[in-house]
């Protein structure tokens, strides 16, 4: 009997301590196998220590593990051979990661939703975008420091498991994947809507083909993700280039209009149910009747959540590191340039818009919607075909978001399958001959494909709207856990003092955490977002509580089994 306990405890202990990177299709493999794409990146890699990658250990084991003290280990720069190993192909290059990180910042919210943000606070929205941008930069620096230490990880979620424990890691992994799928459902709906609107500007009605448009877009993007990661990177590169080109063209147009002192007549703007008044281009439009809270401090406070959701998914670059060439060289540059991109593309675009269109001109339509500021500005400049151009770019922006969500959802489901002992999940932990997690991508795509079916059933559709809104809200939980995981990393033996360090982490981590909590609190203040906020809290209590209790009982059973072996 004692021998059976010893054998059982040994098997259980090995199952718990086997890392996802050590398991391939249920078999153990040699962790010293070099990564053919990156093993030669650092000549000193052979001398450096192996980072602890055990996502299945207890939290106390992870944080309290003694640090190595040999001279070669204390002088390392973190470029150990194992940390660079990945069973996915490093097919993306520096230019891909640069544009992907930029594409993660610029979404459809800037092109279509910035009008509502401007109407809430006027010119002070610029300060809101800058402030939220700085906080998101803190988040990216935290993710960047951990990914720099171990660029073999397929997702930054793994660090939550490593430094906060299996319970929080399980909660974060499944929550984030579910949120990606739900957001993907909303994006595929948005793509078809924008596609129909684009052709409507030419008098072509495609309303009855909405479901087919969604199917074609989804099949095309899934195929792109299945071919090779380099193809995905190339597609995202050009998607981002289209968005950047429109923003630069808009800013250049605004500069010319200001320099020549352009005056425009009253005009009927596409998407506005009333005639927009005549005006002129000039910086005086920006400062006229300036106030930090022209519509009250509550409206000013509400603008923070709107801007925050515009930045959401900026962390996508943290999922691409394990498939990027020379990640330790490329990652710091990509992340450090985020704040510059925020200033140029968000702040620059908003300043240009409000110099041409007075902020007091942004009024809601009867149905509560707002016209695109980009369409307004181009039509004021006499470019009446601008609405078709803007909606074409918006289609590419929504398609880019959906493409990225598919990529990210596939990688997260692949990671969850690697961490799972369930036989049904084992097949999803496989990679194709092209070194992509094909099965995980297809399953995630099939889940997103449920969107057109759900939209056809009114009773289910209303519940879907609530859950998809809650998906955006629960991502805040992931951000908070990521910042706590970063604090755990900085206190652990894995920390390297000469890595890609987060500036003043003891302070900036807490600033970001407090900010994210405050953003979530503001969701309760508005009737539009209160339901999603409540649903998010219920998810945190129910599923989060289950994950923590499961980890507690699992650790208790392990300790009991080990105790009986003594």
Residues in the chain: 566
Q: Count of CB atoms within 10 A of residue 275's CB? A: 10
pLDDT of res. 391: 86
pLDDT of res. 51: 44
- What contacts 24+ positions apart, CB below 8 Å, involve 154-157? 154/86, 154/88, 154/319, 154/322, 154/411, 154/412, 154/414, 154/415, 155/318, 155/319, 155/408, 155/411, 155/412, 155/415, 156/315, 156/318, 156/319, 156/482, 157/412, 157/415, 157/478
pLDDT of res. 382: 85
pLDDT of res. 85: 52
pLDDT of res. 478: 96
- Close Cβ partners of 28 (under 8 Å, ≥ 6 residues apart): 18, 22
**DSSP string over 407-449:** HHHHHHHHHHHHH---HHHHGGG---TTSS-HHHHHHHHHHHT
Given a contact cutoff of 8 angstroms between Cβ atoms, the answer to whether 221 and 407 are in contact is: no
Given a contact cutoff of 8 angstroms between Cβ atoms, the answer to whether 123 and 260 are in contact is: no
pLDDT in tens, the chain (566 residues): 444 433 344 433 333 333 333 333 333 333 333 343 443 343 333 333 344 443 333 443 443 343 333 333 333 444 454 455 556 777 777 777 777 777 767 777 778 778 888 888 889 999 999 999 999 999 999 999 999 999 888 889 999 999 999 999 999 999 999 999 988 888 888 888 888 888 888 888 998 888 899 999 999 999 999 998 888 889 988 988 898 888 899 999 999 999 999 999 988 887 777 788 888 999 998 888 788 888 888 889 888 988 898 888 888 887 888 788 888 988 898 888 877 877 788 889 999 999 998 888 888 888 777 888 888 888 888 887 877 888 898 888 888 888 889 999 999 999 999 888 888 888 888 888 888 899 999 999 999 988 877 777 766 666 656 677 788 889 999 999 999 999 999 999 999 998 999 989 999 999 999 999 999 999 998 888 898 899 999 999 999 999 999 888 876 665 666 666 65
Which residues are bridge partners to 279 per DSSP? Answer: 264
Three-class SS state of 28 = strand
Q: For residue 461, what is the DSSP state?
A: H
CA 476 to centroid of chain Cα atoms: 11
Rounded to whole angstroms, how far apart are CA atoms 204 and 387? 15
Rounded to whole angstroms, how far apart are CA atoms 16 and 66? 20
Rounded to whole angstroms, how far apart are CA atoms 46 and 75? 13
Torsion of CA 158, 160, 166, 170, to 10 degrees: -70
- Exposed, middle or buried by CB within 10 Å (0-12, 13-18, 19+), for 450? middle
Rounded to whole angstroms, how far apart are CA atoms 551 and 534? 25
C-alpha distances in Å from residue 215, one per residue of 108, 186, 188, 225, 237: 21, 14, 9, 15, 23
Q: Count of CB atoms within 10 A of residue 432's CB? A: 13
Rounded to whole angstroms, how far apart are CA atoms 460 and 124? 39
pLDDT of res. 17: 35
Q: What is the CA radius of gyration of the chain?
A: 25
pLDDT of res. 157: 93
Three-class SS state of 160 = helix
C-alpha distances in Å from residue 200, one per residue of 102, 364, 396: 30, 22, 17
Rounded to whole angstroms, how far apart are CA atoms 448 and 408? 13
């Amino acid at each position: 009997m004692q021998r059976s306990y010893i054998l059982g405890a040994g098997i259980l202990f090995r199952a718990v301590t086997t890392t996802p990177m050590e398991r391939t299709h249920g078999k153990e493999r040699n962790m010293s196998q070099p990564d053919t794409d990156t093993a030669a990146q650092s000549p000193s890699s052979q001398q450096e220590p192996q980072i602890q990658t055990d996502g299945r250990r207890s939290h106390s084991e992870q944080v309290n593990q003694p640090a190595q003290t040999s001279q070669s280990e204390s002088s390392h720069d973190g470029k150990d051979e194992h940390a660079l190993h990945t069973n996915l192909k490093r097919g993306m290059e520096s230019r891909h990661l640069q544009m992907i990180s930029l594409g993660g910042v610029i979404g459809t919210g800037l092109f279509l939703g910035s009008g509502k943000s401007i109407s809430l606070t006027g010119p002070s929205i610029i300060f809101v975008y800058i402030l939220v941008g700085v906080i998101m930069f803190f988040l990216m620096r935290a993710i960047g420091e951990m990914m720099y230490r171990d660029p073999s990880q397929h997702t930054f979620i793994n660090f939550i498991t490593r430094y906060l424990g299996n319970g929080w890691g399980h909660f974060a992994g499944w929550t984030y994947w579910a949120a990606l799928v739900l957001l993907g459902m909303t994006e595929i709906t948005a793509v078809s809507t924008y596609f129909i609107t684009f052709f409507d500007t030419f008098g072509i009605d495609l309303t009855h083909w909405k479901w087919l448009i969604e199917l074609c877009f989804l099949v095309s993007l899934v195929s792109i993700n299945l071919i090779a990661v380099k193809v995905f990177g190339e597609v995202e590169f050009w998607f981002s280039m289209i968005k950047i080109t429109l923003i630069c063209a808009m800013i250049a147009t605004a500069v010319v209009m200001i320099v020549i002192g352009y005056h425009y007549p009253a005009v009927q703007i596409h998407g506005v149910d009333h005639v927009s008044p005549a005006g002129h281009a000039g910086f005086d439009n920006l400062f006229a009747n300036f106030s930090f809270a022209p519509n009250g401090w509550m409206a000013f406070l509400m603008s923070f959540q709107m801007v925050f959701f515009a930045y959401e998914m900026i962390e996508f670059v943290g999922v691409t590191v394990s498939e990027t060439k020379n990640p330790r060289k490329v990652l710091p540059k990509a992340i450090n340039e985020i704040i510059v991109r925020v200033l140029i593309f968000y702040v620059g675009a908003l300043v240009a818009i409000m110099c041409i269109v007075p902020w007091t001109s942004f009024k809601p339509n009867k149905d509560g919607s707002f016209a695109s500021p980009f369409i307004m500005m181009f039509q004021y400049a006499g470019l009446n075909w601008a609405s078709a151009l803007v909606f074409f770019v918006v289609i590419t922006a929504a398609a880019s978001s959906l493409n990225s969500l598919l990529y990210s959802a596939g990688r997260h489901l692949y990671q969850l399958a690697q961490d799972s002992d369930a036989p049904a999940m084992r097949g999803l932990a496989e990679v194709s001959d092209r070194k992509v997690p094909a099965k995980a991508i297809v399953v995630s795509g099939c889940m997103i494909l449920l969107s057109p079916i759900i939209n056809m059933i009114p009773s289910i559709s209303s519940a879907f709207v609530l859950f998809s809104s809650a998906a955006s809200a629960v991502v805040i939980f992931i951000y908070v856990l990521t910042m706590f995981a970063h604090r755990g990393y900085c206190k652990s033996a894995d920390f390297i003092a000469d890595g890609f360090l987060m500036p003043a982490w003891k302070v900036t981590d807490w600033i970001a955490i407090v900010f994210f909590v405050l953003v979530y609190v503001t969701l309760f203040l508005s009737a539009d977002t209160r339901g999603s906020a409540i649903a998010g809290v219920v998810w945190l209590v129910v599923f989060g509580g289950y994950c923590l209790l499961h980890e507690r009982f699992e650790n208790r059973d392990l300790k009991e089994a080990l105790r009986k072996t003594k």
